Amino acid sequence: MPSNDSANVSFARTFAAGIWNENPVLRLLLGMCPTLAVTAAVKPALTMGLSVIFVLFCSNIVVSLMRNMLKPHLRILMFTLTISTFVTIADLFLKAFAPVMSETLGPYVPLIIVNCIIICRAEACASKNTLAVSIVDALGMGAGFTLTLCVLAGIRELLATGKVFEIQVMPGAFVPWAAMGMPVGAFITLGLLLGAVNLITRKNP
């Protein structure tokens, strides 16, 4: 069926937009705080990425379902309430099944509530689009966010400890750059990464 085909193509495009063209971190500059804070190693970064995908997925579904009932002046409040409910669920889940990881991430799990990506997608996509589009958008954006986080964490963990995913990669003679694990490393790596992305997009617009 042609109409079904074109729908699939547009879904694929929405999903791909989240990963590159509208990548939340690298292009829209959203969700900077967790990006900088949890990327000292790949494992917490991945956990954070998955939690954000879960919250984004659920909140986009709920917001999309109630989009016709929203009053304009109360919508931000409704978004934050929806999001904080799902974040509480994610937080309790992590505390129960991954207590060590929950300890490492600390307050950055509840801080997903104020992660601009989620509220931005609720406002820009879910409150205007159908359920299916909102779900695909949430998955695409979440995947883009997680991917960026993992890349950044990979670079920082490699240079700070010589390991990736806690597996030794660098030869023994490698001197770890301790600064990469500190806030300095986070800011500068992200800055250079953004610069590199700008360079690539300028070459093939």
Question: Least Å distance between CB 53 and other proteins?
Answer: 19
121: part of which helix (H) or strand (E)? helix 116-121
Query: Which is nearer to other proteins, 7 or 76 (by Cβ)?
Result: 76
Counting Cα atoms < 13 Å in the Cβ hemisphere of 68 gives 3
Distance, in Å, from the CA atom of 80 to the CA atom of 200, rounded to the nearest integer, reads 35
Full DSSP string of 3-52: HHHHHHHHHHHHHHHHHTTT-TTTTT---HHHHHHSTTSHHHHHHHHHHH
- CB count, 10 Å around CB of 137? 25
Question: Least Å distance between CB 179 and other proteins?
Answer: 8
Question: Least Å distance between CB 30 and other proteins?
Answer: 8
Of the candidates 115, 132, 129, 104, the one whose C-alpha atom is nearest the C-alpha of residue 56 is 115
Question: Least Å distance between CB 156 and other proteins?
Answer: 12
Question: Least Å distance between CB 173 and other proteins?
Answer: 26
Query: Which is nearer to other proteins, 98 or 188 (by Cβ)?
Result: 188
119: part of which helix (H) or strand (E)? helix 116-121
**How many residues are there in the chain?**
205
Of the candidates 61, 37, 193, 45, the one whose C-alpha atom is nearest the C-alpha of residue 114 is 37
Query: Which is nearer to other proteins, 56 or 190 (by Cβ)?
Result: 190
Query: Which is nearer to other proteins, 174 or 187 (by Cβ)?
Result: 187
Query: Which is nearer to other proteins, 98 or 195 (by Cβ)?
Result: 195
Query: Which is nearer to other proteins, 105 or 133 (by Cβ)?
Result: 105
Q: What is the binding site for other proteins (CB under 8 A)?
A: 29-30, 32-33, 36-37, 76-77, 80-81, 84-85, 87-88, 91-92, 106-107, 110-111, 113-116, 119, 179, 182-188, 190-192, 194-196, 198-199, 202
Distance, in Å, from the CA atom of 200 to the CA atom of 198, rounded to the nearest integer, reads 6
Question: Least Å distance between CB 15 and other proteins?
Answer: 25
